[in-house]
Structure 1
Amino acid sequence: MKKNHIILLSVSILAILIITLLIYYNINNALHSIDKSDDIVVSNTNPDYHFAMICENMEDPFWLSIKKGVETASKEFNVAVEFNWPSGANADEQWKSLDMAIVSKVDGIVTYVWDEEETGQLINQSVEKGIPMVTIRTDAKNSKRAAFVGLNTYSAGTEMGRMLLAATGDQGDAVILVSNHETGGTVVQNLMISGIKDAVQSSQRFNLNTIEYDQANFISLEDTIKDVLVNQPGLDAIICTNEKDTALVAQRLIDLNKVNYNIIGYGDSPEILRYIDNGVIFGTVTANHEQMGYDAIKALVDLKTKGRTSAYFTADTHLITKTNVAKYLNSSEE
């Protein structure tokens, strides 16, 4: 009898342990899933539509600004928007993110384009299934996408080039830090660089070079900055083509006590604005990224309610230097 009691107790304890482990596994799995994947913006009432947005990297200030614009549009148009982003930088993970959104049969999708041919195939599949598609930041112009929301990056580049000439007095030496791992953004980066180079061509007394680094490796950018400072002692300016690197380069030069360079960058994050105000960064070119997020959702709503939308939405660019940074600082604090 005592033996049976011990066996029963042991079985009960084992069952409790198994149940506890299962609960722990499910909670941990759910938290892991939440940490890596979907975030959803829902309007205050029952949404009229459920959209999905495929983002490149939600830690990037660019995509965080896009998300703010989406949140504004979600409330205004009474729609739910689900955010998805790849768990890795490889094409397979990016394909899976977009394919999952299509399979889920949402009412419309906004996506960035990591590869025009691959993304274009999925866009066409989506449209054939009755799910309209809008591309953002990078385009698949030969696909069946309904609209493209982007920047005039060549124009932004020419503005950066002109700012560079103003900062250096139309002469000197400068480098453009070029990422070799800008997934989906290579075309954007190249257009911006072309604009910079074309603007600088007007001066015969300027020497401009590009230096490549691995964006996926933070140490690569650190090493690149050190190499530039050591190997080019007469350097006058450093140009960054994205918001994240602009702030990182500025901070690294402060750490090295090397703030006598003209930094020309991109973006208007509070950190960058403070650097401009303090004279660490000469100036940046930026655009209304929140407006891009808003326009992308508006395009989908127009497609669902009117059956049509504008084919192109282009965000305006703005120049920020010491002369006007106070206006942007005040706006960021409101």
Structure 2
Amino acid sequence: MLGLVSGVSFLCRPFETVFFLAPFYLDLVWRVARRRLPVGPCLGGLALGWLLPLGAFLAFNHAVTGDALLPARVSMYTFPAQLTAHDGTLLERFGANTSYNTLMLAVWFLGPLGVALVALGASWDRLTVLLSLGVLSLLGLGLFHDNHGIHAVGPIHYSECAPALALVAVQGLKRAVDFARRASVSPRPLLLGTGGALVVGLGIFDVHHALALREQSAIHAAVEAYVRDAGLGRAVLLAPRYVAAWRRVPEFRRGGSWVFEWAPPRPDFSDEVLILHDGPGHFERLRTQFPERRFFRLKPGRAPEPWRIVPAETSSAEPVVAPQPPVPSAVESAP
């Protein structure tokens, strides 16, 4: 089971999987070496569990990037990615990456209450020890790269820590209740206080971020509606990078979003309007691939319009042929 779970997780987040599960595999090696587990069944089970996911991982990488060992997730970056003048030093990574992510993870996982419960539950049994060590190991991954990974929704590079920390925190709460009972103190105030803190804290968190996500979704709904209502028919729209498009609207730029690329087309290119990146020679190459489609370009507009759509065959200075729908506001486009 460990091999299959590891392999499936590796498909999605290979680096995080290796670091998070490292304590579990070290524990397995220790128990096999101490003859507490049989060698053959353990190695055979791990190999069978890893076989299909690892094969799928290598095949997918080869199909997308041309290199079985280069995941698509990192193929867009140039390594090493230098974000500041001091990046690459262990001290910089420890301070700006590992330590900062540790602080943010503590803040976002229930705050001080969560830290206290995890500290109480970490040594409960072998599983909670391994889960805690897995989280620490994963935080150590920050020492090997310079992508700090803190976004508006929290430390998303460490989202897989949440289930592990939740399991450990539950054991910590149980230990706190046991302490109270042994001290002949009613655990009810402790449970009510913990429950109240979770309801209030998570309630504020959920409401605040639900509203923020709704505001962000309005950006994408507005851009999508603009293209959809342009009446292009079956066409190819050559466009700049998505983030460059939506940032032309001051209202959207103030709110911001972490969606930087256009939604990819269907694998069979059956979309009514294919939105593809524009660039030197792109129109000429794509016209031979889609001879039955009309071609347009998304260009910067003239105030107050942020965008305009022009036929790809004409210069960007010529007037727009396609009908131009009004640009909906964020409020109008919010779902």
The TM tier, using the shorter chain, reads under 0.3
Higher helix share: 2
Q: For CA contacts below 8 A with separation 6 or more, give which structure has more relative contact order.
A: 1
Higher strand share: 1
TM-score normalised according to structure 1 size = 0.23
